Amino acid sequence: MTVNVAKGITCLRQNSTAALDKVCKLLAEDRPQMLLLAASLIAAFIFCLIEFDTGFLLGTSAFWINPRGLVGRSLYDISAALSGYAYFQRDSWQWPLFHVAKLGAPAGMNIIFTDSIPWVVLAGRLVFRLTGETVNLYGLWTAFCFMASAATLTSLVANLGQRNLAAAAMATTAGLCMPALLARWGHMSMMAQFEIPLALIFYLRNNRCDRPWRLFVKGAGLMWLALWTHTYLFPMVGAIVLVTIGQSCSNRALNGKAALTVSAGLAATMGALIALSGYLQSRGALEAGGVGIFSMNLLSPFYPQRSGLIASLRNVMADGTGGQYEGFSYLGAGLLVLLIMTLPQQARALGSRIPRHPWITALFLGFTIFALSNTVYLGPVQLLHIQMPGPVMQFAGIFRSTGRFFWPVMYCLAALTIAAPIPLYGCRGALLLCLAIPLQWIDTTPLRQALATITHAPEKPHIDLAAWQAAIPQYESVRVLPQWFCLRRQIGWNDEVTVQLQLLAALADRPINSVYASRYTADCAAERRIDGMPQPGARQLSVFLDEYPGYARMRQLAATSSVCRASAGLVVCSDIPGKGQVLAALAWTDRR
């Protein structure tokens, strides 16, 4: 009896091992890359349907009237992007291409500086010209970014040699659940992180390319894609394109003359596109303060943050400056486990990769140093501060949120980590990848839940949005005093209301003097001299915030005349007779 039981256990073990080996082989077996990409896209599509409601994806939900995100100051960023988009799709063609006349009227504004994503606004204008209908494409853009993130990371891993179900499943999960992508919601243009894996794929496929025309066309396409997405993605992608050309030259696939010709062609093409787009049309200095504040913390890639696995770290972020959320680069528990389990192989491979890929190695080192900035923090502890010359800091201020520049290193590290288990452990490495999938998913649960919650249930606005939406089309223009840039406190109730009014005016296609945008200045001294009294016949709706120098006078006018109405925090005036009831509704605020 005992012998039979022992034989049965042995047989069961052998069968279980054989079955496990069979499953591992199926998961680790090479598959057509197109099949893996199709599966990745289907999984990402289902993810978007679960994560977002239909109204959000179609751009019709209440979220888009009072939008919020997960990243700091997201109300301003999403509202600015939406307002630039709304004005552009109904405006006429101008020079530079992305200038609009009604935002920041009368001078106008280039929506490059509202982060409205040129590719999206061009699509919106095309739809409007073809149908006469205004549509909000940012919900679809968001879904596209998640789907592209999953597909490009899957393709990057496949180009590293791992074309199997296990690696593709983990790459898809990592693409959808990259903490730095989820936490970035609020900067809609920066959701296009898929352009970084796309550039890395370009490097893998072309670092031995001997065809200058091919390098130029593909490189220019990638750089154009990034240029018309966001100015931070452009230097990341552009630098990878340039080091690809350099590496191809070092590999003697491309001669020096051809490399210089391709580089010069790219420079000329991008220069023309920059001029066409209006990147040099800023109404303020191109550089901004904040270098050393909006950086990456040394702990950021590896220390669990916003974690769903460790309850005490659910709301924690490695931040020593108050602005290092910009350098949030946590890999996630699944990728961390893979990194730890494959560390010996990664260390050995690093020794052979650096000599074979010196250009991109130097670039990644430069990106990492720039992300850390001249003031380096380990958690809350300042480890290093290097005093830099003024011109260097001024130049770095063009990209003051330096912490973002670790993203190319982060995505490369993620892809290498996913590609390592099967070569190291054989087909059993597929089990390690399968273990990492739920770990990555669970660890990012707080971020995914926060994203779903904030897009399903928008916050209560400070003003009656429906009343303003009904009233603004009755006027020729909207005037806000002080405009956003001239507020003393550019964070708080006044500036949120100003940004909300900017969005409402844009949706009604009415000019507004105020504008929230990057690299912008205004003549605040001249604005303070404005009398503010309604001018009959102008058909202008005027809003006076409590920082306006003549605010007390306008409140007094509201108490004695029907042309103005006052409430806590603002006075609303109209030069059109008989609007007292409308103004009373507009004057409501939640300020106490």
pLDDT digits (tens, 9 = 90+) for 284-332: 666 677 788 999 999 999 999 999 999 899 999 999 999 999 999 999 9
- Rounded Cα distance between 207 and 218, Å, is 13
Percent of the chain with pLDDT over 70: 95
Q: Which helix (H) or strand (E) holds 443?
A: helix 429-443
Q: Assign 376 to helix, strand or coil.
A: strand
Token reading at 449:
């839940």
- Rounded Cα distance between 493 and 589, Å, is 10
Confidence of residue 12 (pLDDT cuts 50, 70, 90): very low
| Cβ-based neighbours of 118, under 8 Å, separated by 6 or more | 97, 98, 111, 112, 228, 229, 277
Residues 401, 294 contacting (CB under 8 angstroms): yes
Q: For residue 344, what pLDDT is reported? A: 86
Residues 456, 191 contacting (CB under 8 angstroms): no
Residues 499, 80 contacting (CB under 8 angstroms): yes
Token reading at 439:
């770990």
Write the pLDDT tens digit of every residue in 479-502. 999 999 999 876 789 999 999 999
- Rounded Cα distance between 22 and 9, Å, is 20
Confidence of residue 126 (pLDDT cuts 50, 70, 90): very high
Residue 109: pLDDT over 60: yes
Find which of 182-186, 385-389, 392-396 is predicted with most confidence, using mean pLDDT.
182-186
Q: Produce one character per residue of 45-64: b if its CB has 16 or more CB atoms within 10 Å, e if not.
A: eebbeebbeeebbebebebb
**Size (the chain), residues:** 592
Residue 323 CB coordination number (10 Å) = 17
- Rounded Cα distance between 520 and 113, Å, is 8
Name the percent of the chain in helix, strand, coil, to the closest 5: 60, 5, 35
- Rounded Cα distance between 353 and 360, Å, is 10
Write the pLDDT tens digit of every residue in 503-546. 999 999 999 999 998 878 888 998 888 888 888 888 999 999 99
Residue 230: pLDDT over 70: yes
Q: Assign 350 to helix, strand or coil.
A: helix
The overall pTM is greater than 0.85: yes
Q: For residue 492, what pLDDT is reported? A: 82
Confidence of residue 280 (pLDDT cuts 50, 70, 90): confident
* Burial (Cβ within 10 Å: 0-12, 13-18, ≥19) of residue 302: middle
Write the pLDDT tens digit of every residue in 69-83. 998 788 899 999 999
Token reading at 426:
């054989």
Which residue type, as a one-letter code, is found at position 507? L
User: What's the CA angle centered on 329, arms 327 and 335, to 5 degrees?
Assistant: 175
Residue 5: pLDDT over 70: no
